[in-house]
Amino acid sequence: MTEKLQTLMAGRWRDATGPAYATEYPHDSSTVATLHAATAADVDEAVQVAEAARKKANWAGLKRHERAAILHRIAGGIRSRAEELAQLQRLDNGKPINETRALVASAAGTFQFFAAACETWEETLTPARGDYFTMSVNEPLGVVGAITPWNSPIASEAQKLAPALAAGCAVVFKPAEITPRMAIELARIAQEAGVPDGILSVLPGKGSVVGDALVRHPLVKRIAFTGGTNVGLGIQRLAAEKLMPTSLELGGKSPTIVCADADLDHAVKGVLFGIFSSSGESCIAGSRAFVHASVYDEFKRRLLDSVKALRVGDPSSERTQMGPLVNMGHRSTVEGFVALGLQEGGELLTGGARPQGAMYDKGSYYLPTVFEGLPNSARLCQEEVFGPVLALLPWTDEADLVAQCNDSVFGLASGIWTRDYKAAWRIGRALETGTVWVNTYKLFSVSTPFGGVKQSGTGREKGRLGILEYTAQKSFYWGLNDAPLPWAD
Q: Which residues are known catalytic residues? A: 249, 283
Contacts of 219 (CB under 8 A, 6+ apart): 47, 48, 50, 51, 142, 143
Cβ-in-10-Å burial (0-12, 13-18, 19+) of 42 comes to buried
Contact indicator for 138, 468 with CB cutoff of 8 Å = yes
Distance CA 267, CA 283 (A): 20
The rounded distance, in Å, linking the Cα atoms of 424 and 260 is: 12
Within a 10 A sphere around the Cβ of 1, how many other Cβ atoms?
4
Contacts of 24 (CB under 8 A, 6+ apart): 30, 31, 32, 178, 327
Handedness of CA 190, 195, 196, 198 (dihedral sign): negative
For helices 64-80 and 153-167, angle between their N-to-C axes, nearest 10 degrees: 160
3-class DSSP state of 434: coil
User: Does an H or E element contain 475, and which?
Assistant: strand 471-479
* Measured distance CA(153)–CA(352) in Å, rounded: 27
Half-sphere exposure of 169 (CA within 13 A, CB side): 32
| Cβ 141 vs Cβ 167: under 8 Å | yes
Q: How far is CA 430 from CA 191, 414, 464, 481, in A?
A: 46, 11, 26, 51
How far apart CA 251 and CA 87 sit, in angstroms, is 27
Q: How far apart are CA 153 and CA 166, in angstroms?
A: 20
DSSP annotation of 312? B
Distance CA 10, CA 429 (A): 47
DSSP output for 138-159: EEE-SEEEEE--SSSHHHHHHH
Picking from 321, 311, 375, 317, the residue whose alpha carbon sits closest to that of residue 346 is 375
